[in-house]
């Protein structure tokens, strides 16, 4: 079983997320939306299929990264999140919450040994594609 298959997203705190999105759009060409920017790429094992990752600035006072005190959080794309969480529990990894399911994928949060909160995402790329077709950074 594959575990992590790629970076699903990079999330970071900033004083002004809207200004940050505008700056990245104007100066670096990111196609931005209300959450940040969606990057489109091709899966290496099945290059005819699209996949996605997300770049997202958060308000500096967000509690979404808690219990980590870091200014960032990384999201990893994974396969079979239920099995992976079971393995992580067996290994003594701190699981922060229960798996949540949305139409575009399943999510859970864990902590690494240095107290970085990590988001694991088992994506449903087809739904993401229908949400952001033509509105991605390539």
Report yes or no on 137 lying in a domain: no
The C-alpha atoms of residue 3 and residue 26 are separated, in whole angstroms, by 36
CATH code, 62: 3.10.180.10
pLDDT score, position 31: 97
Question: Would you say residue 96 lies in a domain?
Answer: yes
38 occurs within a structural domain: yes
**So what's the pLDDT on residue 128?**
85
This prediction has a pTM of 0.93
Per-residue pLDDT of the chain (138 residues; tens, 9 = 90+): 779 999 999 999 999 999 999 999 999 999 999 999 999 999 888 999 999 999 999 999 999 999 999 999 999 999 999 999 999 999 999 999 999 999 999 999 999 999 999 999 999 999 988 999 889 998
- Our count of domains for the chain comes to 1
- Please check whether residue 119 lies inside any domain of the structure: yes
**Residue 45's pLDDT is what?**
87
Range of the domain at 32: 4-132
Give residues with Cβ within 8 angstroms of 32, minimum separation 6.
21, 22, 24, 25
């Amino acid at each position: 079983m594959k575990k992590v298959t790629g970076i699903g997203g990079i999330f970071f705190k900033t004083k002004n997320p809207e200004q940050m999105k505008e700056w990245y759009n104007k100066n670096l060409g990111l196609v931005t939306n209300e959450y940040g920017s969606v990057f489109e790429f091709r899966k290496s094992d099945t290059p005819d299929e699209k996949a996605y990752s997300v770049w997202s600035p958060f308000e500096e006072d967000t509690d979404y990264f808690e219990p980590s005190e870091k200014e960032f959080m990384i999201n990893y794309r994974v396969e079979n999140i239920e099995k992976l969480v079971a393995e992580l529990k067996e290994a003594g990894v701190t699981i922060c919450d229960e798996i949540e399911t949305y139409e575009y994928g399943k999510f859970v949060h864990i902590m690494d040994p240095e107290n970085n909160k990590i988001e694991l995402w088992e994506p449903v790329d087809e739904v993401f594609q229908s949400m952001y077709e033509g509105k991605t950074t390539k």
